[in-house]
């Protein structure tokens, strides 16, 4: 078995379950004897930390929210930092890297508040994932799951926003041969099975 490391990204609207599914995918890869590294965006680096504060409503002493252009720049800066200091070194060391969100999150979310072609330009020359899995489920179900998990309402959580984000995600997936869509509405276990099937089909036959 050769060991070319894989860069796998999970994407989906808030409440789609990418965090849970990323953890399960990592376990699966480990059980196949692969070295793995799990990560997410916003990252745990300095820009990522700032982004999480803003997403929860921080840094608005005058009541003015941070502009969409600024958010796009911060997400892009966080991604460069994440790639250079975490993703690239791990891949170079032979680890499979699974990231909960990456550039598509910027295309899908920031498109709602700034010019999407500018956002695409900010992502020029980024490392491309070997596989992107879009976990797709109805907006109402995602909202139900967020409420069930007691997650605080974040900047992009309005149903009207997430409906547009979801549509954008579907268009991205339809145009990318290295992307697969998995239905996120069944049980967590069933979604995991669907994701593992995709990953095994795409990679393990070649490993």
User: Which residues contribute to the site for ligand TYD (CB under 6 A)?
Assistant: 14, 19, 41-42, 55, 75, 101, 105-106, 109-110, 154, 156
CB of 38 to ligand TYD, least distance (A): 13
SS3 87: helix
The two three-digit tokens of residue 85, written as one number: 């200091």
Q: To which residue do tokens 């145009």 refer?
A: 175
CB of 112 to ligand TYD, least distance (A): 8
CB of 190 to ligand TYD, least distance (A): 21
Using the minimum distance from each CB to ligand TYD, give the nearer residue, 41 or 96. 41
Taking the C-alpha atoms of residue 125 and residue 76, their distance in angstroms, rounded to an integer, is 12
Using the minimum distance from each CB to ligand TYD, give the nearer residue, 116 or 198. 116
Contact at 8 Å (CB) between 186 and 21? no
CB of 2 to ligand TYD, least distance (A): 31
Using the minimum distance from each CB to ligand TYD, give the nearer residue, 106 or 132. 106
CB of 206 to ligand TYD, least distance (A): 29
Using the minimum distance from each CB to ligand TYD, give the nearer residue, 55 or 172. 55
**Cβ-proximal residue to ligand TYD, closest one:** 109
Using the minimum distance from each CB to ligand TYD, give the nearer residue, 34 or 155. 155
């Amino acid at each position: 078995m050769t060991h070319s490391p894989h860069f796998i990204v999970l994407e989906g609207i808030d409440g789609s379950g990418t965090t849970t599914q990323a953890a399960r995918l990592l376990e699966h890869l480990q059980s196949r004897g692969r070295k793995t590294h799990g990560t997410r965006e916003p990252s745990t680096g300095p820009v990522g930390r700032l982004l999480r504060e803003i997403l929860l409503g921080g840094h608005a002493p005058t009541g003015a929210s941070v502009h969409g252009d600024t958010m796009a720049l911060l997400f892009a800066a966080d991604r460069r930092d994440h790639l250079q200091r975490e993703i690239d070194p791990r891949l170079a060391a032979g680890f499979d890297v699974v990231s909960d969100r990456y550039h598509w999150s910027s295309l899908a979310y920031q498109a709602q508040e700034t010019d999407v072609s500018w956002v695409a330009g900010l992502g020029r020359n980024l490392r491309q994932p070997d596989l992107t899995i879009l976990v797709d489920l109805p907006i109402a179900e995602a909202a139900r799951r967020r409420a069930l998990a007691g997650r605080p309402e974040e900047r992009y959580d309005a149903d009207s926003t997430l409906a547009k984000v979801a549509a954008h995600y579907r268009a991205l997936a339809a145009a990318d041969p290295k992307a697969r869509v998995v239905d996120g509405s069944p049980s967590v276990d069933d979604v995991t099975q669907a994701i593992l099937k995709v990953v095994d089909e795409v990679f393990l036959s070649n490993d």
